[in-house]
Amino acid sequence: MYALKNYISNFIPMNESDWMEMSKLFKEESYKKGEIIYGSSDIPSEVNFIVKGIVRSYKLEENGKDFTWSFYFLNEEVMDHRMISDVCVVDYASFIRNRSAELAFEVLEDCTVMTITKKDLFELYKSDNKWQMFATTIAEDAYCATRDRTLTLLTKNARERLEILLDHFPEIFQRVSQQHIASYLGITRQSLSRLRREES
């Protein structure tokens, strides 16, 4: 919970009383590697803040292939590079709109998340202006991360995208399969292998 408190403090100043008010609404959940937290047809009814392990979100295509959108892990050192990692394990657009999710969420390492229901979260927002500010700030952060991710795919070449990933998530090849990394970068696994050979 301490890691989650530090993460939330990046968006809103909190005293101990604020934290106690918020933390009592969370419950801890654990998932094993290979489990799916949300499927692509589920309507998200809760937000999961990851505190241990790695999760990936992906879009499943009609031909059975999938496209990795983002990785989810808690690392305060990459807070300024949110296109690489997120902490809120949820399809936020589907969560807000109450629609079936476009993204599915797969556990890549055994993970622990702190979960809050939509009902409790929205009640918290209504209880005080500071929580409304938190809601606004985290939504703005989600938008900025999505914009940065999209612009990177549109304007950077594969080598540049790989360098950004390695600069801010250097242990990724020890924790995530090459297939998922290649999918995240928008290239084939063969192209990723070639780029890595050229870098060495």
Q: pLDDT by residue (tens digit) across 98-155? A: 999 889 999 999 999 999 999 999 998 888 888 888 888 888 888 888 888 888 889 9
Distance of alpha carbon 51 from the chain centroid: 11
Residue 123, SS3?
helix
Q: Which residues pair with 67 in a beta bridge?
A: 59
Bridge-partner residues for 104, per DSSP?
Answer: 58
* CATH architecture assigned to 2-154: Sandwich (2.60)
CA distance 32 to 167: 28
Q: What is the per-residue pLDDT for 187?
A: 92
Beta pairing class for 85-86 and 66-72: parallel
Alpha helices in the chain (DSSP H): 2-9, 16-23, 92-97, 118-127, 129-155, 158-168, 172-175, 178-185, 189-199
Which residue ranges in the chain fall short of pLDDT 50? none
Report pLDDT for 105: 94
- Amino acid in the structure at residue 177: S
Q: What pLDDT does residue 153 have?
A: 87
Q: Whose CA is closest to 68, among 20, 108, 32?
A: 108
| Radius of gyration in angstroms for the set of CA atoms belonging to the chain, rounded to a whole number | 17
Pairing assessment for the beta strands 88-89 and 85-86 based on DSSP bridges: unpaired
Domain parsing of the chain, residue ranges:
2-154, 156-200
Average pLDDT of every residue of the chain: 87
Question: What is the reported pLDDT for 81?
Answer: 55
Are 13 and 54 spatial neighbours (Cβ–Cβ below 8 Å)? no
CA torsion sign for 168, 56, 90, 74 is negative
